[in-house]
Structure 1
Amino acid sequence: MLYVILIAAIIIFWLVAVDRPVLKVKFEDGKIIREKGHFPPAFRHNVLDIAEHNPFTGELKVYQQRTGTKLSFSKNVPKKVQQRIRNVFPHQGFRSRGAKKSG
């Protein structure tokens, strides 16, 4: 019985504590160093254009939530650049899992 409780605690810890973004992009001096996840081509083009004009070093993460998507930036990404990236973010390209396409 104790092992069942232990396994349940490990699973709950994994679901809550593990960082699981849908998209993770790392920048260094305005260039993409590493990307993991679905990076829509139009959004990628716009982010690279922003990074070319205002080079920065940092990380961008996109999380899928029930209410939609959430953008998260590392602390060394300037606020002005964060806002420009939020402005070009394609909310339709990152649909929540429960949302159905109307067609």
Structure 2
Amino acid sequence: MEYFLAASFIALFVYIAIDRPIVLIQFKDGEIVKKKGKIPHGFLNDCAEISKRTPFTGTIKVYRNRFNPAKLVLSKSIDHKVQQRIKNVFPHKSFK
């Protein structure tokens, strides 16, 4: 019985602790290093264009939320002006 409880607590902790974004895009010096998930083609092109004009290093993650269609999370290493440009081109309606 104790093993079952221990295993269930570990499984619950792993389920909560693992980072599970629906979209992940990693940039390094203005180049896309890693893409994961179903990314809208226009959003990917816009992000690539922004990164070519003002090169940055960081990650863009999109999470599915129960109340909001999608939550955009940008790493802190990205400049605030670039963050705003990415937020402006983010397609909220594509992630319903």
Please report the TM-score for the alignment, with normalisation by the length of structure 2. Answer: 0.91
What displacement does 1:2 show? 1.0
Find the counterpart in structure 2 of residue 99 from structure 1.
none
- Percent identical among aligned pairs is 43
Letter in 2 for 1:2: E
Find the counterpart in structure 2 of residue 6 from structure 1.
6
What displacement does 1:22 show? 0.6
Find the counterpart in structure 2 of residue 101 from structure 1.
none
1: CA distance, partners of 2:84 / 2:71:
13
2: CA distance, partners of 1:67 / 1:54:
33
Please report the TM-score for the alignment, with normalisation by the length of structure 1. Answer: 0.85
What displacement does 1:38 show? 1.1
Unaligned runs of 5+ in 1: 96-103
Deviations 1:6-46 (A, max 9, x none): 12201210221111111111101111011111111011111
Letter in 1 for 2:23: L
Detail structure 1 runs of 4+ shifted over 2 Å in the superposition.
none
1: CA distance, partners of 2:26 / 2:11:
29
Number of aligned residues: 95
2: CA distance, partners of 1:90 / 1:75:
21
Find the counterpart in structure 2 of residue 49 from structure 1.
49
Describe how 1:18-97 pairs up with structure 2 within 5 A.
Answer: 18-68=18-68, 69-95=70-96
SS at 1:65 equivalent: coil
Unaligned runs of 5+ in 2: none
